[in-house]
Structure 1
Amino acid sequence: MEDNSKLQQAIKIYKALGEPTRLKIARLLANEANLCCSDIGIKLESIAGSTLSHHLKQLTDCRLLSTYKEGTYIYYSLDRELIGKYAPYVMK
């Protein structure tokens, strides 16, 4: 039987990636690591800052993104091991 915590993790990941903007963010970070929110916003263009922050929080909450802070900026990277396990399509 599947470990319930792993099942819950998979559900959170698939739910997060089921939203097109979050999938675009994950695919962007698969190609470019350590981007701050403003860099992601510039590369994805038509996303409001508050909406982008919400999407980044959703992806971080399900542990798809790792973060580090430098000054006032938070930099985001994709957890390649986790994405490879649950959604390898993102890495293409």
Structure 2
Amino acid sequence: MSQSYEENSKIIKAISDPNRLKIIDILSCGEKCACDILEHFDFTQPTLSHHMKVLMDCGLVNCRKEGLWSYYSLNSSNCNKLIIFLMNLVTDTNECICKDKSKCNCR
């Protein structure tokens, strides 16, 4: 697989939080200002900043600054790589971890 288990486990850990999953769902509609995202939650702006930092650090979310405002969007390329990794993980592919396909119990 092109991405390592370590890289992807970091991403999966980041999205294991239900608030972060909701943020990804919100951003799937397009770029949003932090204030627009915050409207969907009952927590403070510093808590949102923490969640956004985690999502940016693992590469799923991009941020651009415009004056005092922060605008967030999904990193589509990295989201697609995660989807492909997960699909390959649960599917018997040529990239199966088993070295000898004749003895592979992946089927």
TM tier, shorter chain?
A: 0.7 to 0.9
The match for 1:65 is 61
Q: Unaligned regions of 5+ residues in structure 1, if any?
A: none
Distance 1:26 1:87 in 2: 14
- TM-superposed CA distance for 1:36, in Å, is 1.7
1:76 aligns with 2:66: no
Give percent identity, aligned residues only. Answer: 37
Contact 1:17 1:23 (8 Å CA) reproduced: yes
- TM-superposed CA distance for 1:26, in Å, is 0.7
Instruction: Name the SS of the counterpart of 1:74 in structure 2.
Output: strand
- TM-superposed CA distance for 1:8, in Å, is 2.3
The match for 2:82 is 86
Residue 40 of structure 1 is aligned with which of 37, 61, 66? 37
Runs of 4+ in 1 over 6 A off after TM superposition: none
1:28 aligns with 2:26: yes
- Count of matched residue pairs: 84
CA RMSD of superposed structures (Å): 1.8
Paired amino acid for 2:75: D
TM-score (norm 1): 0.80
User: Which structure is larger by alpha-carbon Rg, 1 or 2?
Assistant: 2
TM-score (norm 2): 0.70
Residue 4 of structure 2 is aligned with which of 2, 6, 28? 6
Give the number of the structure whose residues are more often helix, by fraction: 1
- TM-superposed CA distance for 1:56, in Å, is 0.4
Q: Unaligned regions of 5+ residues in structure 2, if any?
A: 85-107
Instruction: Name the SS of the counterpart of 2:59 in structure 1.
Output: coil
Higher relative contact order (CA 8 A, sep 6+): 1
Paired amino acid for 2:8: A
